[in-house]
Structure 1
Amino acid sequence: MINHYNLDNEPLFLERLATVDPKKEAVVDLSTETAITLNYGQLNDLANRTAQGLLNHGIKPGEFVAYILPNSWEFVVTTLAIWKIGATACPILPALRDHEVAFIMEKSKSRILIIPESYRKFDYQPMVDRIAPKLPHLETTLTITSRDPLDMTACLGGLAAEAPDMKTIEALWPKASTNAQLLFTSGTTGEPKGVIHTHGTLSFAVHAHTKTLRLTDQDGIWIPSPMAHQTGFLYGMIVALSLGAKQICQAIWHVDTARQAIEEHGATFVQAAMPFLADISRDKRPPKGLKIFVATGAAVPRQLAHDATAALECHVVGGWGSTETCLVSVGSPYSNSEKAWSTDGRVIEGMEMKITDDEGNELPRGEEGMYRVKTPATFTTYLDHHDWYEESIDENGFFITGDLAIMDEEGYLSITGRVKDIVNRGGEKIPVVEIENLLYEHEEIKDVAIVGMPDPRLGERICAFVTLKTNKAFTLEDITSYLEAKGVAKIYWPEHLELIDELPRTVTGKVQKYVLRQMITDKITTKA
């Protein structure tokens, strides 16, 4: 039973690292004109040297160590070095700026911050200078000026320059119960929470995942999702390290770089959000070579999954996970059922999920309700707010996800929306995801999101934000006549259309519906 699962049985990542052939290719970094590659021997040596550097800066076991790094060999080495001394990794998304970075640094009380000199035309040191007066705990900022892993005086800001004291380092290696990771939830609600995982919870998540998908050390793990997010961190970097496989790091999104990762460097597996899948599958020359694409992070239009399967000649499957629980359900690439991609998959072995009413009573299959999950991969607390953690776990140990879902008779999960994303039109709850999926099939629609707009009589009306594939004229009537032809009841039709160049998303692909709701609310208020 999950309640009594012993996480101490899980092999930890550092233990696996020590057993891999040191000559085997470990990291391919595509962030420079010529790819930077490291084998496992070089990776381990750099991590040991960097671990010593952290010790020289006074970092102790249990401390949070913050770093703002894009997908790169430096990200991998830094993470391993932090773990080798029993400290906790606190990666920060490179897209974040003063307010968010100051918030994370203040919450984590990290005494050290590792930054790139520049990334995507943004210089980081001036930002650090601006926020430093608010951060009394910050003692050292290390700036990466050299990308050459052989430049031992300058790479990693000089952190890796010292010869390691392996006896001291090995005595600090973490246990399953040691904190491994502090990640802050991304802004679909606007209120980030500091999620803490241990080596045990992350190890269980990865090993259950790789076993389910039958991944091996012969796979190439492609990482276009930010490594400072759980998708790229755990289901990219750590999947590769736990398998002893090669990881291909892509920092800046471009389809040509994706093609390089797949066709030149042998990427066979990727877990990423919908925009990545859409871009490579809709390209004039879709890259070939992927075996499995697990589409997560946001609702994936089922038409896109169907089209991408054909274009990429690989298995596209759905899945559901969260920062707090890691991946809980996934479609099987070895199943002939269309449900592998037309749903969010089935529960991963060793985990549980159920659909309940508001009081926590389990509902019959086929009924929509609150989605709850229970897994040994569940986080251990929210930083400084264990009360939030306790509120998120019910009396039976299930995490309350905040999602609405349906589970069919075969156990396939379909997320139907967020509790906070429900459009309540005069007491009628609108099936938002179902309507969005239908609209994605419209030949003129590139992207769509449905939100509630304030209405004095009904409480809310249905507003569709749409981006188009062409510059053709497009009206609300085009939507309603299309849905009518699809047999959708009129009560579910959007009542207002907003054309938009691009939907607001988090860096991991989630549509920020609270931004859209505020946009339409402001527009209505201004007109009034």
Structure 2
Amino acid sequence: MQFDAVLLPPRRERMITRGLWHDRTINDDLDACAATCPDKLALTALRVETGEFRRFTYGELARMTDRIAVGLTRLGVGKNDIVACQLPNWWQFTLTYLACSRIGAVMNPLMHIFRERELSFMLKHGEAKVMIAPKTFRGFDFEKMVTDLQPSLPHLQHLVVVDGTGANSFEALLSGPEWEQAPDARNILTRNRPGPDDITQLIYTSGTTGEPKGVMHSANTVMANIVPYAQRLHLDAEDIILMASPMAHQTGFMYGLIMPVMLKASVVLQDIWEPKKAIGLIQKEGVTFTMASTPFLTDLAKTVTETGQGVPALRTFLCAGAPIPGPLVEQARVALGAKIVSAWGMTENGAVTLTQLDDEDERSFSTDGCPLPGVEVKVVDVDGNDLPVGETGRLMLRSCSNFGGYLHRAHLNGTDAEDWFDTGDLARIDARGYIRITGRSKDVIIRGGENIPVVEIESLLYRHPAVAMAAIVAYPDERLGERACAVVVPKPGQTFDLPTMVEYLKDQKVALQYIPERLEVTDTMPATPSGKIQKFKLRELMRTPG
């Protein structure tokens, strides 16, 4: 794979001079952990459905990393090859990334909610050579799905199946054989180690272009975010981190996979969100920190209140993905006894703004925080002119953790000659430098922290023989922040209802979480004189119960 990470070279000298890029990779940190604290518990992974726990010390983590790395090379994986990984929060996810980093391969995390439609684009666009997936998870047969897709994916040479029963199982190919003992293992593990500016992660994000965009990150861009993030939250080697947010999202990947190794801390992985299980883990493992979207905080606070089961070790809950309602912060503070920190970020940058630990609680529900060190933000009008404090406009940021660009889509990078990145969000900045996201100039719905690709789903609806016009807009939801509603004008003489829409989109192999949960059928759409649908009017309509 040839990476066109054009945004990295122009920034290098400035970032190094300012001390914002650290010129390290995860290999350096893992080696340091194995050398200085080999017996420390590094990773605990719980599979909720089976109750199975798997634990690794740092010494064991390093050995298994080397084993899987050599195993990947036996499958033909080399420097800059893409290894796609569609796993839940299982230990194999963490180990696959660490192993890729040993041999200069690039990991492409894929959400386990993705189905044929999303995967066929991402695997083809990213030219993945190896795909790692569960045999089954939550009743779905991933092995069959990818096997059926494979003939249409010319670059995909191997499907590796976790819990597989055949010769292509993860256990048979990667984690079982003692590859690290092979005569050529040392050479394999050292000859292609990536540099800090090499691409280490390719992760897809939904936008407004009708197709996902492949975000490219290097060790320098990722670590430039994690270092100040951990410092602001006062996290160190003594912390125990719970990660129940998917590691195929930047939240889980950066702060549940990479950050614990960088800090020599311990991490606990939970693959299916169940608040009672989370409470048990926090109590049993002594969890001090977690990060997740608003629904997780709602569920945890509610369950602690209902059960009377406290979480005394938990100091901080960082909540991002949607604004936190004020009453929830108050309830969670009482129920959990933890500091609630609000944050805002993007796949392209990681966390950008966070409230401070010594901020008054009100800041966590009235703002999305202030920039981390190494990050600048500004709000501009439609012509790019800076706006004064308190006025709403387009949010621009200039960050040490800004990505390297979109794979094969450099024209969409949205970063100008002065390194300002257009976030696509609308915001205002207060007199203390705290931002508040007020809306999106880009057409995306965020449902429980998951971006719904609006343009793509609308395009599919337009292809239905009964649909004349279609638009998808958000409507508020207490738990998820937003849900999606489809507004449809049927063709003359045609009818269209919710079961028809759901069945049609399922037939199109759309991920279930992307299918609108509400349908409004109307005779006309509110539109501008030029015919453009006025979605703000539709959103106002959605605020009334349907």
1:397: which partner in 2?
A: 419
Contact 1:28-1:37 within 8 A present in 2 as well: yes
SS of residue in 2 equivalent to 1:19: helix
Partner Cα distance (1:524, 1:467) in 2: 26
Q: Indicate yes or no: 2:15 matched with 1:5.
A: yes
SS of residue in 2 equivalent to 1:336: coil
2:352: which partner in 1?
A: 328
Partner Cα distance (2:398, 2:13) in 1: 9
Instruction: Give how far 1:2 is off.
Output: 9.3
SS of residue in 2 equivalent to 1:379: coil
- After superposition, the C-alpha distances for 1:484-511 in whole angstroms (9 at most, x for unaligned) are xxxxxxxxxxxxxx9xxxxxxxxxxxx9
What is the identity, as a one-letter code, of the residue corresponding to 1:38? F
Pairing partner for 1:45 from 63, 68, 72: 63
Pairing partner for 1:279 from 299, 320, 334: 299
Pairing partner for 1:64 from 82, 96, 104: 82
| Alignment gaps of 5+ in structure 2 | 1-10, 447-453, 455-472, 480-497, 499-512, 526-546
2:41: which partner in 1?
A: 25
Please list, as runs of the form range in 1=range in 2, the aligned pairs for 1:191-270 lying within 5 A after superposition.
Answer: 191-270=211-290
Q: Indicate yes or no: 2:155 matched with 1:137.
A: yes
Contact 1:12-1:200 within 8 A present in 2 as well: yes
- After superposition, the C-alpha distances for 1:418-468 in whole angstroms (9 at most, x for unaligned) are 12469xxxxxxxxx99xxxxxxxxxxxxxxxxx9xxxxxxxxxxx984668
Partner Cα distance (2:477, 2:14) in 1: 49
| Alignment gaps of 5+ in structure 1 | 148-152, 423-431, 434-450, 452-462, 470-497, 499-510
- After superposition, the C-alpha distances for 1:131-168 in whole angstroms (9 at most, x for unaligned) are 11211111111112279xxxxx9654421324321233
Instruction: Give how far 1:43 is off.
Output: 0.8
Partner Cα distance (2:397, 2:476) in 1: 32
Partner Cα distance (1:204, 1:8) in 2: 5
Q: Indicate yes or no: 2:173 matched with 1:158.
A: yes
Partner Cα distance (1:125, 1:346) in 2: 44
2:438: which partner in 1?
A: 416
Pairing partner for 1:299 from 310, 316, 323: 323
Normalising to structure 1: TM-score of the pair?
A: 0.78
Please list, as runs of the form range in 1=range in 2, the aligned pairs for 1:62-141 lying within 5 A after superposition.
Answer: 62-141=80-159
RMSD: 3.1
- After superposition, the C-alpha distances for 1:238-275 in whole angstroms (9 at most, x for unaligned) are 11111111111010110111112211112111111011
Partner Cα distance (2:477, 2:386) in 1: 38
Partner Cα distance (1:128, 1:246) in 2: 33
Pairing partner for 1:309 from 318, 327, 333: 333
Please list, as runs of the form range in 1=range in 2, the aligned pairs for 1:174-189 lying within 5 A after superposition.
Answer: 174-186=194-206
Partner Cα distance (1:188, 1:222) in 2: 32
Please list, as runs of the form range in 1=range in 2, the aligned pairs for 1:344-493 lying within 5 A after superposition.
Answer: 344-389=368-413, 392-420=414-442, 465=475
Instruction: Considering Cα pairs closer than 8 Å and 6+ residues apart, tell me whether 1 or 2 has the greater RCO.
Output: 2
Contact 2:345-2:353 within 8 A present in 1 as well: yes
Contact 1:369-1:406 within 8 A present in 2 as well: yes
What is the identity, as a one-letter code, of the residue corresponding to 1:4? R
What is the identity, as a one-letter code, of the residue corresponding to 1:222? L
SS of residue in 2 equivalent to 1:30: strand
Normalising to structure 2: TM-score of the pair?
A: 0.75
Partner Cα distance (1:211, 1:272) in 2: 19
SS of residue in 1 equivalent to 2:519: helix
Partner Cα distance (1:467, 1:176) in 2: 41
Query: Alignment identity in percent?
Result: 33
